[in-house]
């Protein structure tokens, strides 16, 4: 499976839009994990984020079928997140986290080196 980082990085640059809509928050925020099996699953993901929930989306099943569909899905989610003022980021190679406008994803400010992290002996 090709690196999800390249797909998300390219899509995020194209998704820089003004905030158009606000999120409807019902009082509680849930963290929901779900698989992305097909492009039609995107509507469920969008509805969850509009409801104020955080979604961890596993893209492995769709990537096994079509990497182009994964690219389309990530592009569409980036556009959607930009329109609602939310946030999106990858979690490793198989997962993407999508947050509503009430939650922002912390990102490391300093570049991470390729040197191994020292461990206790």
Structure tokens at 70: 């994964």
Query: Residue ranges per domain, the chain?
Result: 4-17+24-99
Contact indicator for 68, 93 with CB cutoff of 8 Å: no
- The answer, yes or no, to whether residue 15 has pLDDT greater than 80, is no
- Any residues with CB less than 8 A from the CB of 43 and at least 6 apart, and which? none
If one compares 61 and 21, the residue with the highest pLDDT of the two is 61
If one compares 60 and 8, the residue with the highest pLDDT of the two is 60
CATH superfamily of 4-17+24-99: SepF-like protein (3.30.110.150)
Contact indicator for 119, 55 with CB cutoff of 8 Å: no
Per-residue pLDDT reduced to its tens digit, 31-81: 999 999 999 999 999 999 999 999 999 999 999 999 999 999 999 999 999
């Amino acid at each position: 499976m090709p690196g999800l980082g390249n797909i998300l990085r390219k899509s995020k640059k194209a998704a820089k839009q003004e905030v158009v809509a606000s999120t409807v928050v019902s009082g509680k925020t849930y963290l929901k994990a779900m698989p992305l099996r097909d492009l039609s699953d995107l509507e469920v993901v969008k509805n969850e984020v509009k409801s104020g929930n955080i979604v961890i989306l596993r893209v492995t099943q769709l990537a096994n079928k079509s990497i182009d569909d994964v690219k389309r899905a990530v592009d569409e989610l980036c556009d959607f997140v930009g329109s609602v003022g939310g946030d999106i980021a990858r979690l490793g190679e198989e997962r993407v986290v999508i947050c509503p406008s009430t939650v922002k994803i912390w990102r490391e400010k300093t570049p991470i080196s390729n040197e191994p992290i020292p461990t206790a002996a």
